Every structure is written in C-alpha cells, then in structure tokens.
Structure 1
Amino acid sequence: MFVLSLSHSALVHLGDAEDPSTGRREQNLPMARQTIDLLGLLQDKTRGNLDGGEERVLEQALIDLRLRFVEVSKQQG
C-alpha cells in the first residue's frame, strides 16, 4: 500500500493525476524525481525481504515512473 501511495504521489508531481488537495494537474519535476528516488531506495533496502508479488509491484512501478519521468522531462525542454 505504501508503494502505491508513493507511486500516486509521483504521478501527481508528473502532472498525470490530479492533486487531491487542489483538483488540478500541475507538474513538479523535482518532487517527482525525489519520490521516484525514494521508491528506488525502498527497493534497495527491502531487496530479499519482499514476497514475489510485492517485489513485482515495486519493480513495475519504478519502471513505469522512470520512463514517464524521462518522457515528461523531454517535453519540457
């Protein structure tokens, strides 16, 4: 559940989901990067301690978010 919450936060910062507090979509790439990096740190620190399903969810979330971050970064400049 924590991974899904962080993933959603990253999507909000990437501008792909509405901010629940404002109802608006706004990009904040530094915050998106920080959240994605936090998920990466979580992956490193929990390696070998997650069951297969948890590990796959975390890995897929990181793959998707990192790819989306690159796409959004390229669009900005």
Structure 2
Amino acid sequence: MQNKPNTPQIRSVITCPHCKAAALEHMPLDACQWFYRCNSCNELLTPKTGDCCVFCSYGTIPCPPVQLGDSCRKPA
C-alpha cells in the first residue's frame, strides 16, 4: 500500500549499531526523536553528527519532517 503524496511514513526499522538488533518503531509526526534505547542491549542511541534524529541515523526511513522536506522542529 502506497502513501498519498505529502503523507509521511510513520514506521521505520531502527538497527542498533552496537548489537545489530532491529526493531520496527513508530515515529512522531511533528518532531524529531533524539534518543532511542535499544530493547536488546539497552544502549542509548543518539543521532550521528549532522543528522536530526535517531531515525535519520539508524532507521530504514527518515523522520516525517525530513520526508516532507522540513528540518527538525523539536526533540520528542
């Protein structure tokens, strides 16, 4: 099923760079998520330098604000 134009995807698979565990997560529509705790190894992930959030750094799909061509708005 495809999204309508200007409708961001709200799920992304985050892969932990420490233990390589992957998890399907929901993304906030109106903010960027700066922190994510891995459910497998308990490591706290933060965005890579230059990225706005953990989904842009470690996810299969960037955060909704970036998908829509906006910059990050506020941390979630």
TM-score, normalised by the number of residues in structure 2: 0.27
Name the structure with the higher helix share.
1
Name the structure with the higher strand share.
2
Q: For the pair shown, which has the larger CA radius of gyration, 1 or 2?
A: 1
